[in-house]
Structure 1
Amino acid sequence: MSSNRTRRIAKEVADIHADTLSKVEVETFGSGDDLTHLRGKFHGPPDTPYEGGKYTVDIRIPNEYPFRPPIMKFETKIWHPNVSSQTGAICLDTLSTQWSPVLTIKSALISLQSLLSSPEPKDPQDAEVAGMLISNPAEFEHVARQWAVKYAGAPEKDRAEGSGGATPESIKKKAQKAKESEEKAKLAAYHGYNKDLIDRFVAMGFDVPAVVAAFEFVGIDKMGGEDYELEEAYMGDITARLFGEA
């Protein structure tokens, strides 16, 4: 494994361990210390059939990471249109065409958690589940809840007792919330700096974590998240740091 990739993965794992708010977990697979094979965990989001369950994801880091996405699949069986009920394979743009080196293992896991709130039955991984969600949302919620109890350790009491099950409107609202959560996860990588300010260096070929680390090393003011022009001396210090000259 290249030293740069090793350092990045190790830093991402350390950041997840230090983050007590997101409730996302990650560990090396089994008892080894291989950073290319990890296991992620997160809780089922509230106000969904998966609430109260804990879901485990197998994570494999390709050689080209972070320029190629991590390969993830659910170990925990789950009834969801974008996850195979047989193999755990996942259909999610963030893990394929919409992947960016800006994203991290944590943001990918948060995106998976958000996917549980915003199923996309028109772009399914499991056609049977998608068909049930489209034709009978209440039955979909019932089966999804049964699986959450059986496989993810969710409490047996029905979360949606008396609610009448999912409706197109409730699904739409959940999708909007999930989209907002995903955007927040992406912005979190900027550590409070203005996105455009950081992205001017990203456009030079550096990734967001490296640029943010250089800004913090040099001591660049976050200016409340506002964009501004850096002084030439600071530009030189940041560039030198990024090229390993400082």
Structure 2
Amino acid sequence: MSNRNRRIAKEIADIQNDRHSQIEAGPAGNGDDMTHLTGSFPGPPDTPYEGGTYVVDIKIPTDYPFRPPLMRFTTKIWHPNVSSQTGAICLDTLSSQWSPVLTVKSALISLQSLLSTPEPKDPQDAEVAAMLIRQPEEFKHKAMEWAVKYAGASRKEQGEGSGGATAESIRRKAAQAKENEEKARLEAYHGYNKQLIDRFVDMGFDVPAVVSAFEYLEIDKNNGEDYELEEAYMGDITARLFGEA
């Protein structure tokens, strides 16, 4: 198995072991091709997409993780940063802001967050963006209709969350977006304590290299808690990072 496929297999296992995020991903068509995946996530609360499930087609490039996965929505969605015709996505995380520390899961979390924070001034679909800017209530109505028709949302589940903005709903969406960003950032640590990994990052190594060394040497994750490594492990990790082991 190639390094890329091993990494993807590990990412999929991490997604399947996470019972809280509701993010899902696996080989497309229940096959075993690690270069073609299907992902999904629920529409975020207090948005027109609430109650729906959004499916994403994911292609893994040959030089992943140094290039981002190629993603597009297969569930039709009315959103300014997603093509209503092809499902193509406009998101910095999947282009100029991609980093090798990110994962398929963090990319899906970013897509979920995008549904809460559309950017009509940087659109993928100009028609949708124009409606959001000029006719926001009509936009909410159509986005809800598409959520019901294509994403399986229930009309009963829309309620206030169908886009009726209040101070409380705005606060909740901002808090959710911040939480999603933090989750995406911590994904790079693969369950290890951030301070534990960052001790080596402070030596000039990057997060993926340190995490890879820890996993290669089967360093205990200690349930994500910080602890002092034994001196022998410190030496083994450093040697691995310098390519001496």
Q: TM-score range by the shorter chain?
A: 0.7 to 0.9
What is aligned with 1:91?
90
Equivalent AA in structure 1 for residue 194 of structure 2: Y
Select the structure with the greater relative contact order (CA < 8 A; seq sep ≥ 6).
Answer: 2
Aligned to 2:205: 203
1:119 matched residue in structure 2? 118
Structure 1 residue 177 displacement after superposition: 3.5
Does the Cα contact within 8 Å between 1:198 and 1:211 map onto a contact in 2? Answer: no
Q: Is contact 2:80-2:129 (8 Å) kept?
A: yes
Contact 1:141 1:166 in 2 (8 A): no
Query: Which residue in the other structure is 1:25 paired with?
Result: 24
Tell me the SS of whatever aligns to 1:90.
coil
Structure 1 residue runs of 5 or longer lacking an equivalent are none
Q: Give the partner amino acid of 1:100.
A: S
Q: Confirm or deny: 8 A CA contact 2:43 2:49 kept in the other structure.
A: yes
Establish whether residue 156 from structure 1 lines up as the match of residue 158 from structure 2: no
* Counterpart Cα distance in 2 of 1:220 and 1:164: 41
Q: Given the superposition, is the C-alpha separation of residues 241 and 221 from structure 1 closer, same or farther in structure 2, using an over 3 Å criterion? A: farther
Secondary structure at the counterpart of residue 66 of structure 1: coil
1:75-103 Cα offsets, whole Å, 9 max, x none, are 00000010000000000111011111111
Of residues 24-33 and 40-49 in structure 1, the stretch that sits farther from structure 2 once superposed is 24-33
Distance in 1 separating the partners of 2:76 and 2:205: 40
Q: Name which of structure 1's ranges 147-156 and 128-137 shifts more when overlaid on structure 2.
A: 128-137
Identical-residue share of aligned pairs (%): 65
TM-score, normalised via structure 1 length: 0.84
Q: 2:37 aligns to what?
A: 38
Which secondary structure does the structure 1 equivalent of 2:234 belong to? Answer: helix
Cα distance in 1, alignment partners of residues 75 and 114 from structure 2: 15
State the alpha-carbon separation in 2 of the partners of residues 150 and 173 from structure 1. 26
Report how far residue 145 of structure 1 moved: 0.3
Output the CA distance in 1 between the equivalents of 2:113 and 2:128. 18
Q: Are the aligned partners of 1:50 and 1:144 in contact in 2 as well (CA < 8 Å)?
A: yes
Q: What is the CA distance between 1:205 and its match in structure 2?
A: 8.5
- 2:67 match: secondary structure: coil
Name the residue aligned to 1:218.
219
TM-score norm. by structure 2 comes to: 0.84
Q: What are the within-5 Å matches in structure 2 for residues 1-246 of structure 1?
A: 3-157=2-156, 159-160=158-159, 165-166=164-165, 174=173, 177-190=176-189, 191=191, 192-194=193-195, 196-200=198-202, 203=205, 206-207=208-209, 209-213=211-215, 217-219=218-220, 233-242=232-241
Provide the aligned C-alpha RMSD in A: 3.1
Cα distance in 2 for residues equivalent to 1:161 and 1:75: 27
Structure 2, gaps ≥5 residues long:
none
2 CA distance for matches of 1:126 and 1:29?
A: 26
Q: Which moved more, 1:184-193 or 1:72-81?
A: 184-193
- How many angstroms apart in 2 are the aligned matches of 1:11 and 1:41? 18
What residue identity is the alignment partner of 1:213?
A: E
Q: How many residues align?
A: 242
Residues 162-181 of structure 1, C-alpha deviations (whole Å, 9 max, x = no match): 98834899668735642442
Secondary structure in structure 2 of the residue aligned to 1:68: coil
Residue 240 of structure 1 deviates from its aligned partner by 3.7
Q: How far is 1:133 from its partner?
A: 1.0
CA contact (8 A) 2:12 2:25 kept: yes
- Output the amino acid matched with 1:193: K
